[in-house]
Structure 1
Amino acid sequence: MDATANARRLRRSQTLAEKTLWTLVRNRRLGGFRFLRQVSIDRYFADFVCEAGKLIVELDGATHEGREDYDENRTRVLELFGYVVLRFPNERVMADPGGIAEDILAVLRSDRV
Structure 2
Amino acid sequence: MAIIAKARAMRKGLTPAEARLWLALRALRPQGLHFRRQAPLRGYYLDFFCWARGVIVEVDGGSHHVEDRARKDRVRDAVFAREGIVTLRYDNLAVRDELSRVVEDVRLRCLARPTRSPLRGDHPPPQGEGDDFN
- TM-score norm. by structure 2 comes to 0.77
* Structure 2 gap segments, 5+ residues each: 115-134
Counterparts of 2:94 and 2:36, CA distance in 1: 21
CA shift at 1:100, angstroms?
A: 0.4
**Do residues 77 (structure 1) and 79 (structure 2) align?**
yes
* Structure 1 gap segments, 5+ residues each: none
Counterparts of 2:73 and 2:30, CA distance in 1: 26
Q: Map 1:37-76 to 2 at 5 A.
A: 37-66=37-66, 67-76=69-78
- TM-score norm. by structure 1 comes to 0.91
**1:4 corresponding residue in structure 2:** 4
**1:35 corresponding residue in structure 2:** 35
Counterparts of 1:36 and 1:59, CA distance in 2: 14
Equivalent residue in structure 1 for 2:110, among 97, 108, 111 = 108
CA shift at 1:65, angstroms?
A: 2.5
Letter in structure 2 aligned against 1:52: A
Q: Is the 8 A contact 2:35 2:50 kept in 1?
A: yes
What is the SS of the residue equivalent to 1:52? helix
Q: Which runs of 4+ in 1 moved over 6 A?
A: none
Counterparts of 1:17 and 1:9, CA distance in 2: 17
Say which is worse superposed, 79-88 or 5-14, in terms of deviation.
79-88
Counterparts of 1:19 and 1:30, CA distance in 2: 20
Q: Is the 8 A contact 2:28 2:107 kept in 1?
A: no
Residue-pair matches, total: 112
What is the SS of the residue equivalent to 2:71? helix
CA shift at 1:63, angstroms?
A: 2.4
